[in-house]
Structure 1
Amino acid sequence: MKARLSKWRLFSLVAIVALVLSGCGEPFLSTLQPAGEVAKTQYDLMILSTAIMVIVILAVVIVYVIAIIRFRRKKVGNKVPKQVEGNHKLEIIWTTIPILLLLVLAVPTVSTTFSLDDTKAMEKDSEGNREALVINVRANLYWWEFEYPDQGIITSQDLVVPTDQKVYFNLHASDVKHSFWIPAVGGKLDTNVDGVNQFFLEFDNEKAKEAENLFYGKCAELCGPSHALMDFKVKAMPEAEFDSWVKNMQNAEEHKPTTAKAQEGQEIFNQKCLSCHAVSPQDGRPEQARMAPNLATFGERSRIAGILEHDEEQLKNWIRDPEAYKPGNKMTGTYGELSESELDALAEYLMGLKVQE
């Protein structure tokens, strides 16, 4: 008996802890702390549907409790309670109430679905121009590419967006199905090999400040052994700062190493890595030739391969054996043949790749 009681106490403790932890979250990642119009709209729908479900559950529980108390055998004996089949009033009530509840949920859900699906602003006018910011997102095993077609810029792993305006996305994948998801800013949407999905997000400036202008994005579709490691970062900044960033990226010149070791690293990079990677944000290669992340802003990133600390030691570990950190990734080559001094030189060159200091 004591052992059984102890188990129930443990179960209760675990349940309470789970309930408390379910309310925890960080502003850069939590869906329960919406940071934009889309996220707030979806959050409100979630609260509405949860409230309706709770009301239904409470009503059922109340009726159930009343029934087992009022009509328990000890009280009524073997007497059969009055039957209510054929009661038109009750039938109308328990038919009408569910219909009303469904309407309360269905009307805002359908309305919201259509409003969030409105991507007409992505279309170009007769002169080939458009006012909206459009970003082409390409998902790969296991990294992300972000192309700003109207600005002539390509980045990888770090998505940069302005706040307080709608940002439109074209989503597709180069290998298998993935799913683009920034939890704090909006729901996920699949990236398919065939066809392009379109939607928009809006990043609230005040919420971005709370998150220190950095949100986390993830792949939300099981895509392979390193699916859980397919992350990216979102830098949200005011429109003026974003415009400045765009100009810097558009005017970025070819990176010139400042030390002898970095110059050696550049030579190694040109021999071993340049066939897949690029080091210019104005990457003019066709999509088929962009087989690996653009490294133009590699030195400005906060993570290596999206998961490792951003320092030379972790970079060298990644170059030595990428498979050990992201199983199934497509980074291949003769990196194992590099000596320690060559790895040092390559790491110094890559860490110096910056557009903005």
Structure 2
Amino acid sequence: MMKGLKKWRLFGLLAALTIFLSGCGEEYLSTLTPAGQVGKDQYNLLLLSTAIMTFVIIVVVIIYVLAIVKFRRKKVGENTIPKQVEGSHTLEIIWTAIPIVLLLILAVPTVSLTYKFADTKAMEAKDADGNAKAVTVNVTAKLYWWEFEYPEQGIVTSQELVVPTGQKVYFNLKAADVKHSFWIPAIGGKMDTNVDNINKFYLTFDKESDGLKDGVFYGKCAELCGPSHALMDFKVKTLSQDNFNNWVDNMQATKGKKADKNSTDLGEQVFANSCISCHAVSGEGTGGGVAPNLAAFGDRNRVAGFLEHSEDGIKNWIKNSQELKPGNIMPEEKALNNGKEFTDEELDALAAYLMGLSVEK
């Protein structure tokens, strides 16, 4: 009796957990609230496959229950053997034809959408002046951060992807070290980034992100890539076309910007002496940097992709980067500062300087 009750307890727990998890979706992260046409198409495909699977389960359960009820021993007797249907041509045709039909219903839209999402010919289209008609972003995945280069605009940023709404945005995906996977759950996609080839696809962004809880959509690495895989996040800021153009202009305006070792700003001095060899503070340029570009660091949503975006978050990252994100290439504090730890004054000044690197304020 107790054993049976334990089984029902487990069933009740799983049922409660299912109900609980059904409310966990957030608009900026959930595939169940798509905010782009690609995501909507994939969501509809998910609904179709779920409906087919549910239909199959219901049919099998009905047949199973009917068989139990109709041929139970109390009804037909202990020694009665029901009529056997083995070799029935009618039944063989039915349970062969139905799965084929269901597979075709699922396969046709799946194959169609797969080829549709891979159609990137418009990426090469030019206007009368020879400028690209579409926005293209070269995405490079690295351990454990993301670089976003806009080749037509001549700018580069990292950790926070900025895109216009209402149009197709094309992506060239590659990895600098190991296999990663680029995924924005609420927008759609999920495409591997490889070291030895470039994958291409497009996404559309229907909604501006400023109305979301954190003001951004969340992006993820969806391929196990190392000890800090779970922390390899990026954020997506979607803007109207005019605001996107302003952002591009502001990024281009940082051309030639550098940190000065002789600056009267202590934070800039510390950065120029300790960080400038890896990090750029100009958004104008090309990709391939050793470390994330910091031109728009003050506009970001997170520090290192997952820490609170604040001066305390910056100081915590500088002092404990290997503990917080194991396997990343950020040097330890003493390696940055000629074998010494930063003083509290230096850390405060450096954090304030980094928070001031902005193209939106």
Task: Name the TM-score, length of structure 2 as normaliser.
Answer: 0.91
Name the residue aligned to 1:296. 295
Shift of 1:252: 3.1
Amino acid at match of 2:181: S
Separation in structure 2 between the aligned mates of residue 182 and residue 120 of structure 1, nearest angstrom: 22
Structure 1 runs not aligned, ≥5 long: none
Aligned pair 1:28/2:32, yes or no? no
Name the residue aligned to 1:268. 270
Separation in structure 1 between the aligned mates of residue 108 and residue 322 of structure 2, nearest angstrom: 49
| Pairing of 1:328-347 with structure 2 (within 5 A) | 328-332=327-331, 333-335=335-337, 336-347=340-351
Separation in structure 1 between the aligned mates of residue 131 and residue 263 of structure 2, nearest angstrom: 45
In terms of mean alpha carbon deviation, does 264-273 or 9-18 score higher?
A: 9-18
| Pairing of 1:1-357 with structure 2 (within 5 A) | 1-2=1-2, 4=3, 7-24=6-23, 25-77=25-77, 78-125=79-126, 129-205=131-207, 209=211, 213-252=215-254, 263-284=265-286, 287=288, 290-332=289-331, 333-335=335-337, 336-357=340-361
Shift of 1:238: 1.4
The CA deviation string for residues 277-309 of structure 1, in whole angstroms up to 9 with x for no partner, is 00000035x62xx10000001111121111111
- On the 8 A contact 1:262/1:345 being kept in 2, the answer is no
Secondary structure at 1:279's aligned position in 2?
Answer: coil
C-alpha distance 262-215 of structure 1, shift in aligned 2 (>3 A): farther
C-alpha distance 129-178 of structure 1, shift in aligned 2 (>3 A): same
Shift of 1:321: 2.4
Secondary structure at 2:268's aligned position in 1?
Answer: helix
Shift of 1:211: 5.9
Shift of 1:213: 4.8
In terms of mean alpha carbon deviation, does 12-21 or 191-200 score higher?
A: 12-21
Separation in structure 2 between the aligned mates of residue 338 and residue 99 of structure 1, nearest angstrom: 68
Separation in structure 2 between the aligned mates of residue 303 and residue 206 of structure 1, nearest angstrom: 19
Secondary structure at 2:108's aligned position in 1?
Answer: helix
In terms of mean alpha carbon deviation, does 21-30 or 119-128 score higher?
A: 119-128
Separation in structure 2 between the aligned mates of residue 339 and residue 215 of structure 1, nearest angstrom: 36
C-alpha distance 206-278 of structure 1, shift in aligned 2 (>3 A): closer
Secondary structure at 2:265's aligned position in 1?
Answer: helix
Shift of 1:208: 7.3
In terms of mean alpha carbon deviation, does 275-284 or 132-141 score higher?
A: 275-284
Separation in structure 1 between the aligned mates of residue 209 and residue 75 of structure 2, nearest angstrom: 59
- On the 8 A contact 1:135/1:169 being kept in 2, the answer is yes
Secondary structure at 2:156's aligned position in 1?
Answer: strand
- On the 8 A contact 2:209/2:239 being kept in 1, the answer is no
Task: Name the TM-score, length of structure 1 as normaliser.
Answer: 0.92
- On the 8 A contact 1:213/1:237 being kept in 2, the answer is no
Secondary structure at 2:290's aligned position in 1?
Answer: coil
- On the 8 A contact 1:255/1:353 being kept in 2, the answer is no
In terms of mean alpha carbon deviation, does 294-303 or 260-269 score higher?
A: 260-269
- How many pairs does the alignment contain? 351
In terms of mean alpha carbon deviation, does 329-338 or 219-228 score higher?
A: 329-338
Shift of 1:177: 0.9
Shift of 1:16: 2.0
Secondary structure at 1:109's aligned position in 2?
Answer: helix
C-alpha distance 254-313 of structure 1, shift in aligned 2 (>3 A): farther
Separation in structure 1 between the aligned mates of residue 350 and residue 213 of structure 2, nearest angstrom: 33
C-alpha distance 87-5 of structure 1, shift in aligned 2 (>3 A): closer
- On the 8 A contact 2:258/2:281 being kept in 1, the answer is no
Shift of 1:120: 0.6
Shift of 1:210: 5.4
State the Cα RMSD in Å: 2.3
Shift of 1:92: 1.9
Secondary structure at 2:136's aligned position in 1?
Answer: strand
Shift of 1:124: 4.8
- On the 8 A contact 1:139/1:174 being kept in 2, the answer is yes
The CA deviation string for residues 202-221 of structure 1, in whole angstroms up to 9 with x for no partner, is 11127874567510001111
Separation in structure 2 between the aligned mates of residue 294 and residue 210 of structure 1, nearest angstrom: 25
- On the 8 A contact 2:208/2:240 being kept in 1, the answer is no
In terms of mean alpha carbon deviation, does 113-122 or 11-20 score higher?
A: 11-20
Secondary structure at 1:86's aligned position in 2?
Answer: coil
